[in-house]
Structure formats: C-alpha cells, structure tokens
Chain A
Amino acid sequence: MPGQPIVFIILAVIAVATALGTIISRNAIYSALLLVFNFATIAVLYLVLGAPFIALSQITVYAGSIMVLFLFVIMLLGAERLPMSDQLRWQPWVAIPLGLILAGEFAYNIFRWTAEAAAVAQPPANFGAPQAIGEMLFTRFVLPFEVTGVILLTATIGAIFLARSEKLSPGQEIRRTRAVSSAAPAGAPSGDEKRVPAEEHEEAIKAK
C-alpha cells in the first residue's frame, strides 16, 4: 500500500504546492507554516522510501526545532509583512529562464541515467531502522559524528555571540560607572562644573 502510485502522486502534489506557496506568500509566517507542511510531507515520503529514522529526525529537527527558530525570529523582528521591493526589476526575467534550464538539465540526466533502475526494489526488513543507523553511526562514521557535535557547539557559541545585545549588561554598567567616578574628583561629576574652577584659576593667574 505505501508504495502505490496514488500515494506518491498525492504527496508530490502537496509537496510542490506547499513549496511554491512558501516562496510566493507575502507573509513570512504563512511561508514558515507552509514550509512546515512541506517538511511533514517529505517525512512521509521518507517513510515510504524505507527510512523511518530519517523521517522522524526530519519531523523533530526540521519541523520541530528549525521552524520554531524561524517563527521565533519572525515574531521577534515583527518582520512578517514586508513590502515588495521595486529594485532589480529585471531579475525575474533572468531567474525564471535559468530555473527552467536547470529543471531541464535535471530531467534529462534523471531519465537518462536512472532508466535501467526503474522500480524501487523492496528493501530488506531492517533497512533504515534506528538500530542499523545507530550501528553505522557509532562504528564507521564515529568521526563525522563527533565533528557534527563540534559544529553544533561552534554554531551555538557563534549564535549567542552574534545575537547578544549591544547595550551593556547591568554588571558592566556598574563597573564602568565605578571606574569613571573613581577617575574623576568626587565633587565634580560633570564637565561644566569642572571647567569653572579651572577658569577661575587661570583668571587668578592672569590677575597676578
């Protein structure tokens, strides 16, 4: 049943329609929600293709965390409705033909090189099961797995560094005001009051 053409056709239509809606929609929130729909549809396609672990990773990582991050940022910036920009009017006339050329190349190569491997064969029973994936992940691919951890840590630190506020935190402000007040004389906090005794001093020197 899962490999029936009707299932594929329905899922493919939904995936393409939601993808088009993502790039067409003017409201960034609608784009994000359509993209979540698209990710869920592709997760079902992964299930049909015999990849249950990847399908559920797709739901949790993409639809669960990445898109929540997107929605957080959209709502944080209040940037859900942006006016269309009028600059670069010539761009669609170049981008759409180039996209069609790329699609033509894809079509030519796909149907040229995969014509012999026509039907998707029935996989072995444990194909794509979490146990099989985990065994490969922690034996042959353990170094890429560790590198992935380092990449995620670096990205976390980088994101915190980039998104931190430019304003001083309260602790830094206290330290800075203490430094300023200890450098300046205690009775003369502002510049004007400081200048007045100095001028008086100069006038006193001239008078002498």
Chain B
Amino acid sequence: MVPASYYLALSAVLFVIGILGVLLRRNALVLFMSLELMFNAGNLAFVTFARMFGNLEGQLIVFFVMAVAAAEVAVGLALIVAIFRSRQSIDLDELHNMKG
C-alpha cells in the first residue's frame, strides 16, 4: 500500500505549481486555471485525510469546495469578459491603473 504521506506530498507539489502559476503568469485565464489547480490540491489532501482517519466529513468538504469553486469561476470569468470588453486585453500587468 502507498503511504498517505505520498498523497499529501503530491497534493503539496500540485499546490506549489498552482502558486507558481499565479505568481509567474500574467494571463488572467491561466491565472484562474492555476487557482483551480490549487483547489484540486487542497481537495486531494482532504480526500487523503478522510481516508487516513476513516472520516467521511473530509469528502463532504471536498463537495462544498467544488460547489464554491464553480461559483467562483462563473463570477471570475464574467469579470474577465467585462474587463476584456473595456480594454481589449486580459494581461494583468495592464490593469495596474485600477489601483488607488
């Protein structure tokens, strides 16, 4: 059998890749995909813990995370579409004049 820590290590690796995607890429769509990657890494850790402790609540939390992620993606993509309509670009570096 595979130790549970291997699954957690895989989840950590995926989370770090997602973080690097958010920090390195300037395309708003790819940034959103990196966010989904991080959601998935957290979900994998939750499912692993549910299996480790024989507790089904971890899987339920994953279910709720999926629902909230779907809502987040719907609103986020609508925002991207609105920003693209007004500026013809979804490069995050070109949105710096929104601050202040």
Contact = CB atoms under 8 A, between A and B. Distances in A.
Contacts, number: 243
B24 A23 contact: yes
Interface of B: 1-10, 12-21, 23-27, 29-30, 32-34, 36-37, 40, 43-44, 47-48, 50-52, 54, 56-57, 59-60, 62-64, 66-75, 77-82, 84-85, 90-91, 93-94
A79 B90 contact: yes
A88 B91 CA distance: 12
A179 interface: no
Contacts of A69: 73-74, 77
A184 interface: no
B71 A151 contact: yes
Nearest to A7: B2
7 contacts: A28-B27, A45-B10, A62-B69, A106-B16, A128-B50, A144-B64, A163-B77
A32 B91 contact: no
A111 B66 contact: no
A65 B66 CA distance: 11
A92 B24 contact: yes
Tell me whether chain B's interface is mostly helix, strand or loop, or mixed. helix
A19 B60 contact: no
A82 B47 contact: no
A88 B44 contact: no
Contacts of A181: none
A81 to B, nearest CB: 10
A188 interface: no
Given A106-B16, A141-B60, A28 B40 contact: no
A156 B70 CA distance: 10
Given A76-B81, A162-B81, A163-B81, A152 B67 contact: yes
Which one of A16, A88, A106 has the highest number of Cβ atoms from chain B below 10 Å of its Cβ? A106
